[in-house]
Structure 1
Amino acid sequence: MAPLACSLYTGESRRLIIAFNIGTTYSGISYSILNPGEIPKIFPVTRFPHQGHVGGNCKIPTVIYYDKQGKVCATRIDDLEDFEPDKVENWTKVQWFKMHLWPKSSATSDAADQITPLPPNKTVIDIFVNFMEDLYDCTRKYIQATFPNQPDFLVSMNRNNAINFILAHPNGWEGLQQVQMCQAAVHAKLVLKY
């Protein structure tokens, strides 16, 4: 298959596009800086706090740990061997949370009935919010480390409302599930409205 031919970005101002693919078991982040008159290039986020270089596929576990008070304790970690055992014994591991959004009419909704329940006092939207906040924090840190000579880049993009987010979702999702992901993006303060 031939590579996609990209056109020059014809916008009048610089923009940042961030794409989150929050998968059932693994997630990924890509971004593109759109400069007027240039052909856009898409880059993956390949380093994450506490994980170093992820590798060529740039996937991270879609996992969150909460304490008994519902506070996020760790994200993107499959096992807790590097943590103190007495500290983590009361943590709740949340994975496959995306399955809680599947439409009830979907053939895979049977699988949703088999997954682990959400922690007390947490909705699937709350968990998406926490995970999106973490992904954005990872993205910010990665971009700042990648472009150290432009320390105010993200500040200027935020100030000029020049960041767009793309949220990937399964084909089988209906309007309700898409709206719920958008609501999570608003609550995570990625966007003001959808």
Structure 2
Amino acid sequence: MEALINLILQFGNLNKQQIEFLLSKVEMLEFKKDDYLSEAGKVPRYVAFVLEGVFRFCYYNNRGQEITNYFVDEGNFVVDNQKFESEMVASEYVQAVTDCKVLVFNKKNWDQLSNTIVGWEMMKANMVKKCLTLAMERRSPLVSEDATTRYLSFIEAFPSLINRIPLSYVASYLGITQQSLSRIRRTIR
């Protein structure tokens, strides 16, 4: 709970009463490896704060290939924010890559924070902005770099993930085959 509060307080001030109210709206959930926090074709149910584990955003392209779009690990929020806020059907999956422990807000409780805590909307907007900026900073280099440089950028952006997630997900995220990734890993050792 402390990690959640510490992250939120980076985006504004909350008094003791507001923090207690916020904590009264959160519940802890556990997801086993391969479980879905959110699924394509369904409305996302939660904003989650990752206490333990790794999630990935993924989708299937028009050829039926699974594409990993992004990873989220401990100390970060994970949500298909646009679909959650607008209560629309998601077009991608948010899947647990490892066993995960999260603190979640359902839509009703998340909205109650906005309706009760003065300044919450601005704090929330700043949290979303930071998450989007971080995602863009991590994704942008992947567009223009060669495969080896993309892999090295991945290691730099996600240093704690390389030994925790399947190489097939890393390869998918980098837009290369698993065989290419294996060759790259051999050459940079």
The TM-score bracket by the shorter chain reads: under 0.3
TM-score by length of 1: 0.26
More helix per residue: 1 or 2?
2
